[in-house]
Amino acid sequence: MENMQVRIGDEYVGILNELSEMLHSSRSEVVRRVIEEGVKDLRMKIAMEKYIDDEFSLCRAAEFSGVSIQKMAKYLAQRNIPFFKQTVEEVARDAKEVEGWLTDACFD
């Protein structure tokens, strides 16, 4: 683990002290937890933005965020962002194509 020196405002020092007391933990441990949660949250938000901008697929967004595809899809859905990028017509066309594959496979 590496040491870091960071300057923070007085209001945050008070908050960290309060959290430290509530959690019966050191201030350093509280800062580590805050950073871990903040990094996770920031990565999810970045992945979501890149997904919206078509820079990431759902799979890549999940991978970048360190979560499952299901969890990434749920995160997007909770923010009213569709995780299926196909139109209803495209889905219907694909379903017909798959039916054709299945029918052909049954007679081979």
75, 78, 79, 82 alpha-carbon torsion, rounded to 10°: 80
Identify the three-state secondary structure at position 27.
Answer: helix
- pLDDT for 15: 95
- pLDDT for 4: 87
- pLDDT for 31: 95
- pLDDT for 56: 93
Query: Do residues 23 and 16 lie in contact, with contact meaning Cβ atoms separated by under 8 Å?
Result: no
What's the predicted TM-score (pTM) here? Answer: 0.70
Query: Do residues 65 and 47 lie in contact, with contact meaning Cβ atoms separated by under 8 Å?
Result: yes
- pLDDT for 108: 53
Distance in angstroms (rounded) separating the CA atoms of residues 94 and 66: 30
Q: State the 10-residue block means of pLDDT for the chain, 108 residues long.
A: 89 95 96 96 97 93 95 94 79 84 68
- Nearest CA among 6, 28, 10 for reference residue 19: 28
